[in-house]
Chains A and B, each alone.
Chain A
Amino acid sequence: MLKVLKLSVIVIFLLDIAGLAPVARTYIEPSFKAVDGDVMYQWHRTDNETEWEDFTVKYQGRDYCRDCHPDQYDRITASKHALIQCENCHGPATSHPMDPLKLVIDQRRELCLRCHSYLPYRPAEYAELSTGPIPFKMKDPEEHNPGIECANCHDVHNAGFKAF
């Protein structure tokens, strides 16, 4: 028993000399730190904060879209849909037009119904627009032209009917 103990002490000593001591004991990353001396909540690999800061942004925001599609930007921001982000329906731009080359437009009825399906506990008014409150338009999807895509008749970019 004593022999084993002696041997392990020698091994650790040799590892120490070889610079491998952390492996023999506990491996601790150099950037590990208890920030502000807070060992309970802030003991971490501080490099990880930067790793999260550098995570790829996918939703670029409507200003990014405006650079190439100013006409559509102007139309929707002048409409009652002004506060709907382009990417809510068109999907995240990421690095469009390089990647992805084309954005897939979600034109299913279900997309519009997320807001416009009648539910008794949805507010009757929509008051977020700077132009003042408007009635919140809700429809019963079972009765209002079931099976037809909303975009067939409605122009979502001006929140009205399509010009025929």
Chain B
Amino acid sequence: MKDKIMYETNNQTRREFLKLGVVTLAGGAIATRLGIFDFLKPEAVAEITEGTGRRWGFVVDTTKCVGCGMCVQACKLENGVPFDSNVSRTWVERYIQKTDGEVIIDSPNLARDGFITNNPLGEQVPEENIAKAFFVPKLCNHCDHPSCVKVCPVGATYKTPDGVVLVDREWCIGCGYCITNCPYGARFFHPTLHVVDKCTFCYHRITNGMNSACVEACTFGARKIGDLNDPDSEVHKIVNTERVAVLRPHTHNEPQVYYIGLDHIVV
């Protein structure tokens, strides 16, 4: 009796209400079967947002690097990493494979002053004993799945929506878990600030229309930065049309620094 009064005031009988309900449910079921609501699935939403968003990426052409180390100098001065400390956000490694197969790897002073003499680790290698040799600039790989971020106990390191891995200096407690968990050795304790420091891709420059300091300092075009999702950017073109490789892919960190001219002796 009570129900009837309620429905009557809504100008609708219980029968009509149930009928409408059945039709709605049936319609919904058909629509779902036809995939009409698929655009609401999280994967589909992610596909749309990820496809259009900016994703900073980096390309290192090792064939062009001459080991001048101007990138390291610029990085340290731009980002306030104490110049005389033995830590740096970017560095250059020299690889020399001798004719007897021995591989020598060195990076004196992290290449802050460049490579001026042919004496890796204090050893003079005669030119005729060198089978192959080259330089490999390194920096944070700004991974898609950064293992360093996963282990931060306080949420002080994170990936920005445009793909850059940063450290919150206000929030870092300096436990160092991320330093040990980076497969690339890209993180270190800042000597004066006592928090973890690392390459930011020069976030303050790239978000304000400039190139990273190391990219600007490179006279040889060995370093490039850009939006990997922008079909017009140089890094997009290189990564999608040339043969590129990443460092230590077996760690499944999905690094976003792509290398031209890598070799199996590069670690």
Contacts and interface: CB of A to CB of B under 8 A. Distances in A.
Interface of A: 29, 32, 35-36, 38, 40-45, 48-49, 51-59, 61, 83-85, 87-88, 91-92, 110, 113-115, 117, 119-123, 126, 128, 136, 141
Contacts of B113: 110, 114
Interface in B159-186: 159-161, 166, 168-171
Contact of A88 (B74, B146, B168): B74
B77 A91 contact: yes
B130 A56 contact: no
B261 to A, nearest CB: 12
A43 B155 contact: yes
A53 B170 contact: no
Given A40-B150, A110-B116, A57 B158 contact: no
A79 B67 CA distance: 22
Given A45-B171, A85-B216, A128-B220, A58 B203 contact: no
Contacts of B79: 55
B205 A57 contact: yes
Given A88-B74, A120-B130, A83 B219 contact: yes
A121 B134 contact: yes
B58 interface: no
A42 B204 contact: no
A35 B67 CA distance: 39
Contacts of B219: 83-85, 88, 115, 128
